[in-house]
Structure 1
Amino acid sequence: MKPARTFFQRLRHYYILFTAGFACFLIALAALEQEGMPRVWIGYLFMFATIVLYALIGVISRTSNVLEYYVAGRRVPAMFNGMATAADWISAASFISLAGGLYLHGFDGLAYIMGWTGGYCLVALLIAPYLRKFAQYTIPDFLAERYGGADNAERGGRAVRILAVVATISVSFTYVVAQIYAVGLIASRFTGVDFSVGIFLGLASILVCSFLGGMRAITWTQVAQYIIIVVAFLIPAIWLSAKHSDNPIPQVAYGKLLPKLSAREHVLQDDPKEAEVRAIFRQRAADYEARIKTLPASWEAGRTDLQRKLDSVKARNASLLEIRSAERELVAYPKSPDDAEHAWTEAREQNLQRAEPITPHATPYPGDKETSDIKRNNFLALVFCLMLGTAALPHILMRSYTTPSVHETRVSVFWTLFFILLIYLTIPALAVLVKYDIYSALVGTDYAHLPNWVSYWANVDKVNPLFSISDINHDGVVQLAEITIDADVLVLATPEIAGLPYVISGLVAAGGLAAALSTADGLLLAISNALSHDVYYKLVDRSASTQKRVTISKLLLLAVAFIAAYAASTKPGDILSLVGAAFSLAGSTLFPALVLGVFWKRANHYGAIAGMVTGFTLCIYYMLHTSPVLGGAPANQWFHIAPISAGIFGIPAGVLAIIAVSLLTPAPGRQTAALVDYIRAPEQ
């Protein structure tokens, strides 16, 4: 036990020094800001310093040893594995988007916190200790051995392995695209580079860690990243808490501020100017509806009007600015009646949404009885999908293999929950604090005196603005309905909204970057390991040397990373939606096979194959047919369940398929029963 203690003490010493060094770095940047250093240079320094730090850890931790590359040598102490897993878990969705989702949706946004936190309890109870006792490298490894290898059912085991690999890649790729999208968002905001360039700058950091050292490098990088994440998230929350409630503890301020926020919401709801703005949005929606009903004549008339406008400004020798503006309007006009129908329908929905009355933050499932029931059902469905999806995420479950023992794995899950809750208990408080600040400070401001941060964030993405304020009723005063804020921007803008020094904005950006990079590292490694270990080594070339296996994994990781970066550069959707889809896929495809594989001896490879195919197919089918982003329509929804919660159908279907097919086919042999008994036996 002495070497293990020595290793733990050495790690503790290193990370205490790292924390002290990071604090000195912050103090130095704060002093430089006071001396007049330009903001853009502070952004550059944060980005450069953190990326160089992660790259340095990757270089120091480089390895070609299979055990080190895949599972960090199975020697990570429980507390540090908990920190690394927490960093792996606190993705861009948690750090950047979750508080924004709560800001926009109020009580309904708590589904994410409840689902993700409850999911970790399932990991601790149902899966993690048993995976560690099995002592393999990947999730497909466990499933293939449980459903085939133990009884030499080679063909069945191969089929299960292939399906598990497909599921791992599908889930992890969807998830990693969201993380790389967040990297581009942060890099473009704080360095001024183009969004696509920002994506590939962040990708360089991901690749250095994952490519050189695999799980070993990722683990020690993620511990450092967690320290940055927790500091970056808590400082603005503590500041706002002290500002609005004279109490520096956000969780305590949360309860005190909610009644004040509710009172402010009532004032704004009764404000005639707010009603005026919402009436304008309703009228705009009605105008779009009228244009849609008269297609294609309305499309032709609109195009003709814009062409005449352009000819007119050219004929009267208008300024170049007017001519360019008229040309841009004509170029942006829909190219066909079909394009017009799609664009105008989307515009109508956006205007209708902005015309809706204020949703009280603390009111669960607001609306009439039918609307309230639909919201409640979607809330519960989302919690269910996130819980079971969490318990089946390959990149999180892989960390069960990195601890020295089963006991350390159980303790590690406790530490993970502790470190996650430091952030998750602060997120609802931060959403309320920022909401109260905007409702009381920004709303009612003259447009001539808007704070500088408004223009900063309005210019981050001019095609799809993340933040905008428009004087809809031309009264020169900001109304709440005139503000549009994207969920993905709220946390990043919080320091500026709170009036903190710009160095804290850079710190929050570094925290968001750490959250996105730490998760992306784990996801890319899960994909490359599934391809190199479970496909190449297990199915193609069993005689491959350890050096060759690691090299193949590194090359595949490189290829997957660039494909994911390209997908993220197309801006496929908001971060929370992408992440939610990954959880439904994981729960539908992997959770039934994992849990029944541990707790039901009768489950066989026929049942596992049927369950994985059924769950995956049903989940994908529902998403494709109900999500407008994927070409579906909300009218196709079953019981009004949103596509993000497709797992509510896929997971039960997968469980039933495994049970039914297993009972209708021959039972597994004695070796499988013995394997299940061994996995479930108490640790000696």
Structure 2
Amino acid sequence: MDLQTLVSLGLIAATFALYIAIAYYNRARATSDFYVASRGIPPIWNGMAIGGDWMSAASFIGMAGTIMALGYDGLAYVMGWTGGFLLLTFLLAPQLRKYGRLTVPEFIGDRFASNPARLISAIATIIISFTYIIGQLSGSGVVIGRLFNIPAMYGTMIGVVIIAIYATLGGMKGVTWTQVAQYIILIVAYIIPIVFMSLQVTGNPLPWLTYGNVVSEIGAIDRELGLSEYFAPFAESDKSQFIALLFTLMVGTSALPHVIVRFYTVSTMKAARWSGAWALLFIGFLYLSAPAYAAFSRFILMTEIAGQPLDSLPSWTESWVNTGLLELADSNGDGILDWAEISVGNDMVVMATPEIANLGVFVIGLVAAGAMAAALSTAGGLLITISSSFAHDIYYRLMNPEATDQKRLNAGRISIVVATIVAGFVALDPPGVITQIVAWAFALAGGTFFPVLFLGVWWKRMNATGAIAGMLVGLGTTLTYIFMAMAGFTVFGIQDTGAGIISVPVNLLTCIIVSLATAPPAQHLQDDVTDLRYPEQMTYKDGEVWMKDGIEK
């Protein structure tokens, strides 16, 4: 085992030990600990935990690679994922927190006084979270596979075991504080390499200020090679696909159950809003860095690897070829590796960049530890969401309302283990690259939940029949379009990753039409909706504020 592998494994092992220790120290002893961390997380730490939860393998590993491959067109991921947090923070999170439930299915079930709506939303939550976690397990496979120089599928198996241990042990309370540590590790690991790359290429340690010049140089190289320029808009995708992907990621972000539940872990509406503000700040550090990562990586590959003799390539190329994520082919037989003969997998760019830039074994190991932190952090939150949907919304609320806390905790932990194993098997041969799989989860979340949550909070005439019809039609439309697009049948050039722009309007219209065509909800449910729009110290009833600060007006 070489020095690089030893250093990487040492850093990863140290961080794993830290995560498990945090989860054990903050282990769940009651159902409120397990599901919402007893609603006792301060906003700044909750914002950091949201950042850790959000900075998934797709963001850490896949996004920079996608931007490197797509150029301008890849920016839809940055804008969509960031913009969605604004929708969530201002339109949904404070109101959902005020309603005081533990999960998204519980909000839907109680808001519409409907157990069928609760069951459908719980099943949809499991489907969405399951799809998302496949991408995270695939990401862990990329990291571990590179460390051991083995196929990524074997690395996935190792990641499954680690994730199952700490998520089962700590519940939401343990996962929250683990995610704080994971965010700190992943953001340091992400930024350090681009600082060093910026110094190497431009002599300036601030990559956010220098990569624009590098992009211009890449454009000049592209023109020499006869390629579409890196920063040319819509060179790699249609305008319709760009807009569809942007929309899908925005509404999906604001409707993802595992993100929404993070806002349930604070004490007040105000704390929920501040959690969103802090989360945007922490997320911005990585999202503003991803385009720089992509530009520097592409520049170094084009100037230092392309054009080199095949027999004098750096040793790291062989290691990545073994993972299946890098393909090198001397198509013209001249012994020189041309740019067109290099096929770089999107999911290897961030992991390989420290090696490509020759940044040293410590930085390589740090990036590996950061990538694992990103994959594990999001996977932990997703597993808690799957667990709560089954153990709380299906088992406790529908099957066994008399279940003790211990039985509910056991049901939650068993569901985590089962979900991890099943998702791990699917991730052994993932159906797409990480960012693509994750985009499907966003399309499913937006297409199933966004109209129902938005109308459920802001339209008191929305009823159970409309919610049920909307969720079923939205989920069915999203799945149908994804499968159609994968088979080559698209509408206006919109690909599978932009399915939300089709399904969200269909869901929205279904909710409105069916609700207006059926009986309105009970008056107390309509009063609950009106009450959600007011600060927490006010209670709204029969058209007037009748209580403020606990004093009847």
Q: What's the TM-score bracket when you normalise by the shorter of the two chains?
A: over 0.9
Aligned residue number for residue 564 of structure 1 = 423
Secondary structure at the aligned position of 2:327 is classed as strand
Aligned residue number for residue 256 of structure 1 = 213
Structure 1 outlier segments of 4+, above 3 Å: 192-197
Aligned residue number for residue 515 of structure 2 = 662
Stretch deviating more after TM superposition (177-186 or 39-48): 39-48
Alignment of 1:578-657 (within 5 A): 578-627=437-486, 632=487, 634=488, 636-657=489-510
Distance 2:222 2:314 in 1: 22
Alignment of 1:294-333 (within 5 A): none
- Residue 376 in structure 1 maps to residue 239 in structure 2: yes
Secondary structure at the aligned position of 1:459 is classed as helix
Stretch deviating more after TM superposition (640-649 or 195-204): 195-204
Distance 1:649 1:539 in 2: 32
- Residue 105 in structure 1 maps to residue 83 in structure 2: no
Distance 1:539 1:598 in 2: 24
Alignment of 1:221-620 (within 5 A): 221-269=178-226, 358-366=227-235, 375-460=238-323, 465-620=324-479
- Residue 162 in structure 1 maps to residue 104 in structure 2: no
Aligned residue number for residue 60 of structure 2 = 95
Distance 1:246 1:591 in 2: 46
2:525 equivalent among 668, 672, 675: 672
| Kept in 2: contact 1:190–1:506 (CA 8 A) | no
Aligned residue number for residue 97 of structure 2 = 132
Secondary structure at the aligned position of 1:524 is classed as helix
Secondary structure at the aligned position of 2:94 is classed as helix
| Kept in 2: contact 1:454–1:468 (CA 8 A) | no
Aligned residue number for residue 74 of structure 1 = 39
Secondary structure at the aligned position of 1:453 is classed as helix
Distance 2:317 2:142 in 1: 16
Counterparts in 2 of 1:262 and 1:60: CA distance versus 1, 3 Å: same
Secondary structure at the aligned position of 1:232 is classed as helix
Distance 1:124 1:40 in 2: 42
- Residues 370-406 of structure 1, C-alpha deviations (whole Å, 9 max, x = no match): xxxx711100010000000000000000001001211
Aligned residue number for residue 338 of structure 1 = none
Distance 1:259 1:39 in 2: 34
Alignment of 1:172-251 (within 5 A): 172-192=129-149, 195-251=152-208
Q: State the 1:43 CA deviation.
A: 2.6
Distance 1:199 1:475 in 2: 38
Secondary structure at the aligned position of 2:402 is classed as coil
| Kept in 1: contact 2:138–2:427 (CA 8 A) | yes
Distance 1:97 1:513 in 2: 13
Distance 1:514 1:88 in 2: 10
Distance 1:116 1:216 in 2: 25
- Residues 283-303 of structure 1, C-alpha deviations (whole Å, 9 max, x = no match): xxxxxxxxxxxxxxxxxxxxx
| Kept in 1: contact 2:3–2:361 (CA 8 A) | no
Stretch deviating more after TM superposition (250-259 or 164-173): 250-259
- Residues 285-343 of structure 1, C-alpha deviations (whole Å, 9 max, x = no match): xxxxxxxxxxxxxxxxxxxxxxxxxxxxxxxxxxxxxxxxxxxxxxxxxxxxxxxxxxx
Q: State the 1:564 CA deviation.
A: 0.7
| Kept in 2: contact 1:468–1:483 (CA 8 A) | yes
Secondary structure at the aligned position of 1:116 is classed as helix
Counterparts in 2 of 1:477 and 1:192: CA distance versus 1, 3 Å: closer
Counterparts in 2 of 1:682 and 1:91: CA distance versus 1, 3 Å: same
Q: State the 1:194 CA deviation.
A: 5.2
Distance 1:487 1:118 in 2: 23
Q: State the 1:193 CA deviation.
A: 5.0
Q: State the 1:37 CA deviation.
A: 6.7
Secondary structure at the aligned position of 1:675 is classed as helix
Distance 1:104 1:586 in 2: 26
- Residue 681 in structure 1 maps to residue 541 in structure 2: no
Distance 1:683 1:416 in 2: 22
The one-letter code sitting in structure 2 at the alignment partner of 1:166 is: I
Secondary structure at the aligned position of 1:590 is classed as helix
- Residue 57 in structure 1 maps to residue 22 in structure 2: yes
Q: State the 1:44 CA deviation.
A: 2.2
| Kept in 2: contact 1:623–1:644 (CA 8 A) | yes
Distance 1:473 1:199 in 2: 36
Q: State the 1:264 CA deviation.
A: 1.7
For structure 2, the residue ranges without an aligned partner over 5 or more in a row are: 538-553
Distance 2:294 2:149 in 1: 27
The one-letter code sitting in structure 2 at the alignment partner of 1:80 is: W
Distance 1:258 1:626 in 2: 32
Q: State the 1:365 CA deviation.
A: 1.2
The one-letter code sitting in structure 2 at the alignment partner of 1:359 is: S
Distance 2:65 2:151 in 1: 23
The one-letter code sitting in structure 1 at the alignment partner of 2:212 is: G
Distance 1:661 1:571 in 2: 38
The one-letter code sitting in structure 1 at the alignment partner of 2:10 is: L
Distance 1:450 1:207 in 2: 39
Aligned residue number for residue 550 of structure 2 = none
Q: CA RMSD in A?
A: 1.4
The one-letter code sitting in structure 1 at the alignment partner of 2:195 is: I
Distance 1:604 1:424 in 2: 38
Q: State the 1:649 CA deviation.
A: 1.1
Distance 1:52 1:167 in 2: 34
The one-letter code sitting in structure 2 at the alignment partner of 1:102 is: I
Q: State the 1:438 CA deviation.
A: 1.0
Secondary structure at the aligned position of 2:308 is classed as coil
The one-letter code sitting in structure 2 at the alignment partner of 1:247 is: N
- Residues 50-80 of structure 1, C-alpha deviations (whole Å, 9 max, x = no match): 2222111122122221111110111101111
- Residues 430-470 of structure 1, C-alpha deviations (whole Å, 9 max, x = no match): 1111111111111221222211111111112xxxx211222
Q: State the 1:645 CA deviation.
A: 1.1
Distance 1:139 1:552 in 2: 18
- Residues 1-42 of structure 1, C-alpha deviations (whole Å, 9 max, x = no match): xxxxxxxxxxxxxxxxxxxxxxxxxxxxxxxxxxx9722222
| Kept in 1: contact 2:64–2:294 (CA 8 A) | yes
| Kept in 2: contact 1:528–1:554 (CA 8 A) | yes
Secondary structure at the aligned position of 2:492 is classed as coil
Q: Percent identity?
A: 40
The one-letter code sitting in structure 1 at the alignment partner of 2:235 is: P
Distance 2:262 2:219 in 1: 42
| Kept in 1: contact 2:456–2:462 (CA 8 A) | yes
Distance 2:429 2:234 in 1: 34
Stretch deviating more after TM superposition (556-565 or 196-205): 196-205
Q: State the 1:46 CA deviation.
A: 2.2
| Kept in 1: contact 2:73–2:235 (CA 8 A) | no
| Kept in 1: contact 2:182–2:373 (CA 8 A) | yes
- Residues 238-291 of structure 1, C-alpha deviations (whole Å, 9 max, x = no match): 11111111211111012222221111222222xxxxxxxxxxxxxxxxxxxxxx
| Kept in 1: contact 2:466–2:511 (CA 8 A) | yes
Distance 1:196 1:444 in 2: 32
Distance 2:60 2:225 in 1: 29
